[in-house]
Amino acid sequence: MSDAPTFDAPFALGMMSLHEAPELHAPERLADWLEARLDQGLHWFDHADIYGDRAGETLFGAALRARPGLARRVRVVTKTDIVTPERDTSPFAVKHYDSSPAYVTRAIDASLERLGVARLDHFLLHRPDPLMDAEATGRALDDAIAAGKIGAAGVSNFPPEAWRRLQGAMHGRLSAHQLQLSLDHPAPLFDGLFDAVVGDGQAPMAWSPLGGGRTLNGPAAPVLHAQAEAFGVSPAGLALAWLRALPGRPLPVIGSLKPERIETLCRDAELTLPRPAWFALLEAARGHEVA
């Protein structure tokens, strides 16, 4: 594989909680918020069709329609294949995954319509589907790339053999991979998953990069806060710098929508973490030194 694509931003803005932020629901208010983020150099926005049961994509699209010039500046990642019990039309009303070509193709078209963009920059399968027909799903993704509907296909939370089965059935490459990765959850660095992602040429995106807040309050907290003070950054900014020090420079997907918090993390993104400091944080998080 050739080198993975890179994301030219210090972090992506996750839209998982957009539907829970009523102060941003008016299209003009959200358009103002988006324009401010774009002016900060933050142009990657991470969606999924299950966020707010489609509400996140719908609100985002309404803001872009209210200020059309923004659509050319945003870069969109979205995901599909999780069917919630409320969306299951079968008698079972069960949460499940659907990576069938028909479902994936409808999901791409529906996300394009809701978001109001000409193309989805990265379109990811959200969870590995044990029933996936790799050849059929791969064909659907290739067709979407050829039609200009998506810039690239990718995966989220997949184990290596699952994404390699899909990649083997495709002409296009799987360009991005979202995985859970943080000081609170460094397991992918030691179980082979992260090495496989980078080794296969996928650009890593780290979801829950602060462990849902546990990174700031967990076992590594004393060292994290002491180092943050020494380096003149916020503890959260330091935790993101720890991630960006890894090969492939993982793109953290942050969940905060607060402008002041985002501004702080933008400022902290200049930090390059020295190797001993990186290992000191790892040791604190894991509770033991490296072998």
Residues annotated as catalytic (active site), given as ranges = 51
Using CA atoms, how far apart are residues 241 and 237, in angstroms rounded to an integer?
6
Rounded to 10 degrees, the C-alpha dihedral 160/163/167/170 comes to 170
SS3 label, residue 57: helix
Query: Are the C-beta atoms of 202 and 125 separated by less than 8 Å?
Result: no
List, as one string, the DSSP characters of 200-235.
Answer: TTPEEEEESTTGGGHHHHSTTHHHHHHHHHHHTS-H
Find the helix packing angle between 55-66 and 27-39, rounded to 10°: 80
CA 162 to chain CA centroid, Å, is: 19
Token pair in block for residue 137:
């799903």
Backbone angles phi, psi at 124, to 5 degrees: -115, 145
Burial class of residue 10 in the structure, from the number of CB atoms within 10 Å of its CB (0-12 exposed, 13-18 middle, 19+ buried)? buried
Token pair in block for residue 104:
């994936």
Residue with tokens 């296969």: 200
Query: Are the C-beta atoms of 21 and 29 separated by less than 8 Å?
Result: no
| 8-state DSSP, 85 | G
Give the Cβ contact number of residue 116 at 10 Å.
19
| 8-state DSSP, 172 | S
